[in-house]
Amino acid sequence: MPLDIVTVPCLSDNYAYLVQGPDGVCIIDAPEAGPLIDALEARGWTPGVILLTHHHHDHVGGVAELRAKYGCKVMGPKAEEDKLPPLDMGLAEGMNGGTGEGYTVPIEVPGHTLGHMAFHFPEGGVVFTADSLMALGCGRVFEGTPEMMWASLSRLRALPPETLVCSGHEYTLSNARFALTIDPGNDALQARVAAVQAARDEGRPTAQVPLSEELATNPFLRASEPAVKAALGMDGATDAEVFAEIRKRKDNF
Ligand code: ZN
Ligand code: FE
Write out pLDDT tens, residues 47-99: 999 999 999 999 999 999 999 999 999 999 999 999 999 999 999 999 999 99
Distance (Å) from CA 59 to ligand 1 centroid: 7
Coil/strand/helix, residue 74: strand
Q: In this predicted structure, what is the pLDDT of residue 4?
A: 98
CB 98 within 8 A of CB 104: yes
Closest CA to 168 of 60, 91, 23: 60
Q: Give the length of the chain.
A: 253
140-184 pLDDT, tens digit per residue, is 999 999 999 999 999 999 999 999 999 999 999 999 999 999 999
Strands 89-91 and 105-108, bridge-based pairing = unpaired
Measured in Å, residue 85 CA sits from the centre of ligand 1 at: 15
Rounded (10°) angle between helices 172-182 and 187-201: 160
Tell me: pLDDT of 1 over 90: no
Instruction: Starting from the CA of residue 167, give the closest ligand.
Output: 2
How many Å lie between the centroid of ligand 2 and the Cα of residue 68?
A: 23
User: Which ligand is the nearest neighbour of the Cα of 13?
Assistant: 2
Residues 189-210 have pLDDT tens digits of: 999 999 999 999 999 999 999 9
Beta strands 164-167 and 208-210 are: antiparallel
Would you give the distance in Å from CA 91 to the centre of its chain?
17
* CB-CB contact of 32 with 56 (8 Å): no
Q: Please tell me the number of the ligand nearest to residue 111's CA.
A: 1
Task: Quote the pLDDT of residue 231.
Answer: 92
- Cα–ligand 2 centroid distance for 6 (angstroms): 18
What is the 58 CA–ligand 1 centroid distance (Å)?
7
Structural domains for the chain: 1-92 (3.60.15.10), 103-253 (3.60.15.10)
Q: Are 77 and 115 in contact (CB under 8 A)?
A: yes
